[in-house]
């Protein structure tokens, strides 16, 4: 994990925002949500250091998930401190592991925090578990702070990486020190990051009847990264796959662990969009390269492979940054015409075509897309358009 002073500017802003919210006289519950190993704990510990008053930090990240009595004991400890020291900062990390956490927090917050003496921060790495509890039990009582996979700008500033290095090694700061030994780095990503996310954030928290199938689906989502694959086609490649409903459910679980995102086809209407075959988009290029068994030089030597990695990196940036900025990300296809990515925010629309400079794509669909939606903006990323390095440093608002 990156040290506190290594948090890049964008995430330091999250720390500042969190600190400011906690100082308010009538604070909301603050929820810090994001993938594993991106700096959530580092951020909240920095807030704890700067709080200047009494504070308590507890983590539920243990082999055996604690019960709600763990929350109650931490709350009681915080209450004890408030009697003598005033407002107390209480941080509960990996809260999603506690069965019934949301109902317990709701009861404590409403019944025993009338004077706003406990300033509560919850951290979690499973969006399904966290967001389900928030919307069902804590609606109107919380504010969300998202911590995403690290961007190129962040890895460049913290580790002096160039773009090619980022494309292969991706945005996991904790793995950056292993860059000089790519086999060790790949093993760390697969075992310490991917397997931990699948084991702790999915299998431990959800009922999964076929764990081997879920793992195989994840592996295929990386193998087919950037491609539009129907569930029916996947059924033919997966043993004991059951049906398309099972695959769709497992995809949803993988999305909740911040591993992959199934982009839906843009139709212009929500109803049709949700019925389309997904385009598999890993949230971090490291997920793809670490699984491949190929060295950085092997990827760079093959024009098609490198071009595919460029497109995956663009898609990962769009999905991660889109979550930060409230921008929806889709793909578009009509017959043999395709647009790599479609961005939507409010009534603004943009189509993005990726050209790596290594090979040419046939059947670019940006012209056809603009005929359907003439007010949309068109962007070419790479050769003949916006340079990739400039795109990776741009906010999505500038593209819409």
Question: What are the extents of the domains in the chain?
Answer: 4-146, 152-399
Spatial distance between the Cα atoms of 42 and 189, rounded to a whole number of angstroms: 19
Report the distance separating Cα 299 and Cα 210, nearest Å.
33
Computed over every residue of the chain, the mean pLDDT equals 88
Q: What is the dihedral of CA 181, 186, 188, 192, to 10 degrees?
A: 170
**Predicted local distance difference test score (pLDDT) of residue 10:** 66
> Tell me, what's the pLDDT at 1?
34
Maximal C-alpha separation, the chain: 70
In this prediction, the residues of the chain whose per-residue pLDDT falls under 70 are: 1-10, 114, 241, 270-276, 357-363
- Residues 25-84 have pLDDT tens digits of 778 999 999 998 888 998 899 999 999 899 999 999 887 789 999 999 999 999 999 888
CATH 1.10.3210.50 fits 4-146, yes or no: no
Pairing outcome for strands 377-382 and 260-263: unpaired
- Token pair, residue 64, equals 């055996």
* pLDDT on residue 273: 53
What pLDDT does residue 232 have? 80
Scan for tokens 């593209």, then name that residue. 399
**Residue 293: how many CB atoms within 10 A of its CB?**
9
Q: What is the DSSP letter of 384?
A: T
Rounded Cα distance between 264 and 280, Å, is 9
Q: Which of 274, 231, 265, 258 is nearest to 365 (CA)?
A: 265
Quick: pLDDT tens for 103-155: 999 999 988 876 788 999 999 888 887 877 888 888 888 998 999 999 999 99
- Determine the pLDDT at residue 361: 57
Bridge-based pairing of strands 348-355 and 337-345 is: antiparallel
Q: pLDDT exceeding 70 applies to what percent of the chain?
A: 93
Residue with structure tokens 């390095």?
A: 389
Yes or no: say if 388 and 381 are a contact pair by the CB < 8 Å rule: yes
Cα 149-151-152 angle, rounded to 5 deg: 145
Q: 54 in helix, strand or coil?
A: coil
Residue partners of 22: CB distance under 8 A and separation at least 6? 30, 47, 51, 89, 119, 121
Give pLDDT, residue 161: 96
What local confidence, expressed as pLDDT, does residue 276 receive? 67
Residue-level pLDDT at 113: 79
pLDDT for 116 equals 80
Beta strands in the chain (DSSP E): 29-33, 55-59, 88-93, 118-124, 142-146, 260-263, 279-282, 328-334, 337-345, 348-355, 377-382
pLDDT at 15: 82
Give the number of other Cβ atoms within 10 Å of residue 262's Cβ.
19
Question: How long a stretch of residues is the chain?
Answer: 400
């Amino acid at each position: 994990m990156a040290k506190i002073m290594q948090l890049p500017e964008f995430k330091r802003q999250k720390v500042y925002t969190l600190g400011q919210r906690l100082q308010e006289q009538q604070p909301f519950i603050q929820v810090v949500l994001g993938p594993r190993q991106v700096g959530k704990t580092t951020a909240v510990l920095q807030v704890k250091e700067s709080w200047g008053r009494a504070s308590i930090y507890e983590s539920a990240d243990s082999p055996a998930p604690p019960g709600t009595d763990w929350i109650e004991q931490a709350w009681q400890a915080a209450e004890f401190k408030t009697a003598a020291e005033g407002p107390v900062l209480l941080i509960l990390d990996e809260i999603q592991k506690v069965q019934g956490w949301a109902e317990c927090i709701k009861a404590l917050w409403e019944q025993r925090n009338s004077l706003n003496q406990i300033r509560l921060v919850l951290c979690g790495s499973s969006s399904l578990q966290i967001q389900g509890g928030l919307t069902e039990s804590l609606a109107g009582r919380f504010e969300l702070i998202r911590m995403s996979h690290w961007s190129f700008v962040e890895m460049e500033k913290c580790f002096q990486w160039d773009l090619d290095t980022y494309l292969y090694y991706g945005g996991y700061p904790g793995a950056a020190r292993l860059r000089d030994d790519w086999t060790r780095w790949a093993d760390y990503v697969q075992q310490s990051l991917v397997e931990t996310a699948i084991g702790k954030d999915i299998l431990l928290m959800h009922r999964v009847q076929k764990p081997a199938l879920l793992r195989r689906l994840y592996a295929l989502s990386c193998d087919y990264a950037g491609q539009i694959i129907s569930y029916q086609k996947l059924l033919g490649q997966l043993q004991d796959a059951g049906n398309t409903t099972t695959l769709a459910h497992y995809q949803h679980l993988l999305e909740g662990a911040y591993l992959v995102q199934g982009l839906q086809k843009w139709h212009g209407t929500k109803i049709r969009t949700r019925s389309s075959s997904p385009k598999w988009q890993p949230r971090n290029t490291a997920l793809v390269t670490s699984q491949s068994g190929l060295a950085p030089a092997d990827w760079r030597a093959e024009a098609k492979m490198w071009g595919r990695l460029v497109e995956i990196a663009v898609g990962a940036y769009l999905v991660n940054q889109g979550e930060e900025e409230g921008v929806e990300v889709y793909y578009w296809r009509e017959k043999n015409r395709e647009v790599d990515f479609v961005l939507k925010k409010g009534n603004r629309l943009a189509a993005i075509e990726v050209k790596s400079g290594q090979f040419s794509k046939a059947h670019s669909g940006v012209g056809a897309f603009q005929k359907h939606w003439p007010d949309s903006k068109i962007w070419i990323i790479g050769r003949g358009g916006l340079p990739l390095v400039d795109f990776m440093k741009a906010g999505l608002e500038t593209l819409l």
